[in-house]
Amino acid sequence: MKRLVRTTLALGAALVLSQSLAVERGGTLVYGRYADSLFLDPVLNDANLDIWILTNLYDTLLQPSANGKGVQPGLASSYTVSSDNKSMKLTLRSGIKFADGSPITAADVKWSLDRARKPDNGDWSGSLASIDNITTSGNTVTLNLKRPDPTLAAALATFNSAIMSQKLFNAAAGKNDAEKAKAFAEKPIGSGPFVLSEWKKGSYMVIKRNPYYWKKGEDGKALPYLDAVRFEIIPDDNTRILKLQAGEIQGAEFIPLARVNELKANPKINMALFPSTQVNFITMNNRPKLKDGSTNPLSDVRVRQALNYATNKDALIQIVTYGVGKPMNSFMSSTTPLFDTSQKGFPYNLDKAKALMAAAGYKNGFEVTSMATSGSANDLAQLTALQQMWAQIGVKLKIEQLDAATKTARYRANDFQMRTGGWTNDINDPSQITTYFAIYATVESLHTGFKSAEIEKLFEQSQSETSRVKRASIYRRIQTLYHEAAPIVYLYETPYPVALAKNVKGFVQIPLGNNIFAATYLDK
Amino acid sequence: MRASYVLKRLLQIIPTFIAVLILVFLLVRLLPGDPASAILGDRATPEIVARKKRELGLDQPLVVQFWIFVQHLVRGDLGESTSLKVPVLRLVGERLPVTLFLSVYASILGVVMAVPLAILAAVRRNTWVDGVIRGLFQIGLSLPVFYVALQLLTLLGAKLQWFPIGGYGDSFGDRLYHLFLPALTLGFNLAAILVRTLRNSILEVLTAEYVEFARSKGLRTRVVLSRHVLRNALISTITLLGLNIGALIGGAVITESVFAIPGVGRLMIDAIFGRDYPVIQGLTLVFAVLVSLVFLMTDLVHARLDPRVEHA
C-alpha cells in the first residue's frame, strides 16, 4: 500500500514536472476587453482600465503576490526595515534594464518615487506619504520615514510606485512635466514584461515582449513566454463571448455572471473565476435627516441591522450571481490581508429582523428608496430581490434608476437614502478599504455619514503598528465594531469571471484586478 | 441651378451652428454629474475632485468657460478630451471616417434593398408579393437595431462563420467584408423606413396622369417604370435618405457598440457616460455640420432633379 502511494506520488510529481517544462514560447494572445485604457501613466491615472493593465508595462520594486495576501520581490531583490522602523533599505537587482535597453539606476528609482509621492501628482500620492526623503548609494535605495509605516511594502508593490526612466521621461515632447507625461503615456517605455508597440485608442492595443525583462520563466529563459498580447476593445458582452466562441479571440474579460454556467459547459472554453477583492453592498445614509429635511429611519442602528438580517444572502447569490458569489461577512473581502475569519456577518434571520424593527418603533415598516445604475442588470436583479425580502419586515423598497454620473453626483452631495455599491482594493493592505468605509474624513465613510471615534482611534494605531499580530487584532476589532454599527447592507463577494480558450495557460487576474500576462503561454 | 441659391443655403447653416453650440454647451452642463467626478469615480475625496476640477478649468464661471471654448474653436481647436487626454479633433479625425464609411455602406445596401422591392410591391399591389414585402419590413421596423445586430452576428458570424465578428478591417476590400454585417443591420433598418414611403409614392406616380398618358401611347410597363417612375422614386428616396441621416447616426451608435467598431457613435456614448464635455461639444458640432451638409446636398440634388424646388 505504502509503495503504491509512493509510486503514485512519484508519477504525479513527474507529471507536474513534465507539464511545467512544457511551456510553449511565442505567439500572440488576443484578449477582448470591455473598454480601452485611458491614460498610461502610473502616477497620474485614475481608472481601473489603466491600473489593471499598467503592471504589464511598468514594474515596481516589490510586487503583489498572486494570492493577494502579501508582497514578493520585484525590481528590488530584497528589502530590510531598520530596527526603529523609521527607514527601509531596498537592494536593486543587478543588470536590470528598461525596455529600450538602458540600465535602471537607483537615481531612476528615487526620481520615480519622488514624482509619485508629490502631493500634487495624482490621487495615489498619499500611499507614499510616510516617506520623508529618499537617498541612494550604488544599487541601494533608502527610504527615510516620518513614522513607522506597515503599509509601505504594499504601497511599493502598487502601480503608482512603478519605476520609470528619468532620462526617457525628460526626453518626451512638452514644455513642462504635465505635457511630458501626456506625450510619454502615448508610447510609454517601462521595465514590465511587455512594452507598448501599437495603440489605436478605442480599437486595439498591442503590447510586445520586453527583451530585457529580468524575471525568468520555468524554462530558465527570460519571461514573458508570449511574443505579444493584442487587446481588442469589444464593449458588448455578447459580442465578446461570440468572438471567443468563434476562436477570433482567446480571452474575454467581464463575462456576465448569468453566462458563466453556460460557458463552463463549453468544452472549448476554460471559464475561470479568479478570486477578487470585490465586495457588493448597499450603502445607507446613516444621518438622522435626509437632504430634503425629512427624518431618516436608517439613522437607527436597529433598523440597519434589521435590514441586514432580513437580507437572504444565499438567495441573492443564486438569483444575482447565479451561484458564483459568496456571502460577505466583513466590510472587507475575504481576500484582503488581515481579513478576520471569525467575522460572522449577518446570517439570514427574519425573526431577529422583525424584533429589531419593532424595538426601533417601525413595527409596520416604512418606505425607502435606493439608487441603482440604469442599464445594470445586476443592480436591478439585486434590488428587486431585496424588495421582496424586505417586504417581509414591512419595508417598501423603491428603485430609482440613474446613469452612473448622475448617481455619483447625488451620492457625493449626500442626497440619497440607499444606493448599490461595489468595491475592489488597489493595494494589498486593509488600510485603503478601511479609510474609505469607516473613516469620516475621507469621504464621510462612503458618504454614509457613519462615524465611530473608536474605529478612528484604532485605525490611527494600525497605521504605525508594525507587528503583524497586533495589527491583525486591531483590524479584528475594527471589523467587529463596523459590523455592529452596520452602516451598509452586507451582500456578497464576487470573483473576476474571465473566459479563456482551452489552450491559454498561466494567465492570472490577481485579487486586486491586475491582468498578469508575464507567464501566460499558448499551448499548441 | 443658380449659385445664389447654393450660397443662400450655405449662409443659412451658420446661425444653426451658433445655436447648436450654445445649446450643447449649456445642456451638458445641466446634466447632473461633472467630468471630474465621472473620471474619478465615487471614491475620490472632495479635495481630489476639487483639484481635478481646477485642472480641467471647471472651477471657472460658465461665461469664462464658454469664452475659452469659443476662442479655441476659432483657432480650429475643439479642446482636449478630459478622460483620454488627447485633442478632440484627433479623436474625430480617427473615428469619423469609420462611421462615414459605415453610413454610406448602409445607405447603399438600404437603397439596393428598398428600391426594387418597393417597385415590386407597388406594381403587384395588394397581392401576396406586396404583403410579404411590406410585412417583412414592418417587422424590420419594429425590431430593435441591437437585436437584429445580435441575430446576424450569431447566425452569419458565429454559426456559419461567413463574416468576422466585430472589427473593421484595414484595406478597402477588407473593410467592405468586415463591415458587411453592421452595414446590413443598419441598411435593413433604413430599407424598412424607405420601402413603405417609396411604395406609396410609386403608387401615386403610377396612377398619375402623365403615366396614364405614357401608357396610352403604348409604352411598355418597363419603359414607363424606368423613364418616369424611377426618376420620381429617386427624388423621394434621396429626400428620405437625407431626412433619415439622424436616424442613421443614432443606429450607428448602437451598431458600433455591438460590432466593436471604433466610430464616432461609440465615442459619443462613452463621452456622455464619462461627462467628457469637450468630446460631447466637439462631436455635436461635427454632427451638426454633417447633418447640415447632408440636408444641403439633399436639397441641391432635389433641385437638380426637380427644377421647381429652387423657386419655391
Q: Encode pLDDT of A481-521 as tens digits.
A: 999 999 999 999 999 999 999 999 999 999 999 999 999 99
Short-list A57, A48, A14, CA closest to A516: A57
This complex has an ipTM of 0.83
Q: Could you tell me the CATH number of the domain that includes residue A296?
A: 3.10.105.10
Structure confidence by residue, pLDDT tens digits, A320-347: 999 999 999 999 999 999 999 999 999 9
**Amino acid making up residue A59:** D
Q: Which residues pair with A49 in a beta bridge?
A: none
Q: Is residue A224 located within the same domain as residue A296?
A: no
CA distance A46 to B40: 6
pLDDT per position as a tens digit, B231-258: 777 777 777 888 777 777 777 888 888 8
Give me the domain span that covers residue A214: 2-15+26-233+503-522
Q: Which residues pair with A490 in a beta bridge?
A: A281
Quickly name the fold that domain B88-311 has.
MetI-like fold (1.10.3720)
Q: Is residue A236 exposed (0-12), middle (13-18) or buried (19+ Cβ within 10 Å)?
A: buried
- Contact criterion met (CB below 8 Å) for A365 and A393: yes
Taking an 8 Å cut-off on Cβ atoms, the answer to whether A38 and B31 are in contact is: no
Q: Looking at residue A516, which CATH number applies to its domain?
A: 3.40.190.10
Reported as a single tens digit per residue, the pLDDT across A181-228 is 999 999 999 999 999 999 998 899 999 999 999 999 998 999 999 999
The shortest CB-CB distance from A409 to any of B33, B84, B94 is to B33
Residues A327 and A227 in one domain: no
Euclidean distance between CA atoms A99 and B254, whole angstroms: 39
- A335 CB-near residues (< 8 Å, 6+ apart): A67, A68, A69, A275, A276, A277, A493, A511
Task: Tell me the three state secondary structure of residue B161.
Answer: coil
DSSP structure class, residue B160: S
**Interface contact B33-A436, CB threshold 8 A:** no
Say if A99 falls within a structural domain: yes
Task: Calculate how close chain A gets to B36, using CA atoms only, in Å.
Answer: 10
Residue A250 lies inside a defined structural domain of this protein? no
Nearest Cβ partner for A246 among B44, B157, B168: B157
Q: Is A518 within a domain? A: yes
Full-model pTM: 0.88
Q: Given an 8 Å threshold on Cβ–Cβ distance, is A404 in contact with B273?
A: yes
Q: What is the mean pLDDT of residues B185-211?
A: 83
The total domain count for chain A is 2
* A346 shares a domain with A388: yes
Spatial separation of the C-alpha atoms in residues A122 and B220, rounded to whole Å: 77
Strand A418-423 relative to strand A367-373, pairing: parallel
Determine which of A177, A201, A205, A423 to mutate to test the interface with B (most B C-beta atoms within 10 Å): A201
pLDDT, averaged per 10 consecutive residues of chain A (524 residues), comes to: 50 48 89 93 87 94 85 95 95 96 97 93 87 96 96 95 96 92 94 96 94 94 96 92 93 93 95 96 97 95 98 95 95 96 96 97 96 90 96 97 91 94 93 95 94 97 94 97 98 97 95 94 90
Distances from the Cα of A479 to the Cαs of A311, A446, A472, A485, B176, in angstroms?
19, 16, 10, 10, 59
Q: Where are the domains of chain B?
A: 3-74, 88-311
Same domain, A96 and A174: yes
Residue A265 lies in a domain: no
> Does A345 lie in the same domain as A286?
yes
Please check whether residues A7 and A67 belong to one and the same domain: yes
Residue B12 CA, chain-centre distance (Å), reads 21
Residues A491, A513, single domain; the answer is no
Interface test with B, best of A43, A206, A236 (most B CBs within 10 A): A236
Q: Which residue of A has its CA nearest to B274?
A: A405
Integer Cα distance of B155 and B257 in angstroms = 18
Whether B155 shows a pLDDT value over 60: the answer reads yes
Query: How much is the pLDDT for A14?
Result: 47
Nearest to B2 by CA among B287, B258, B300, B219: B300
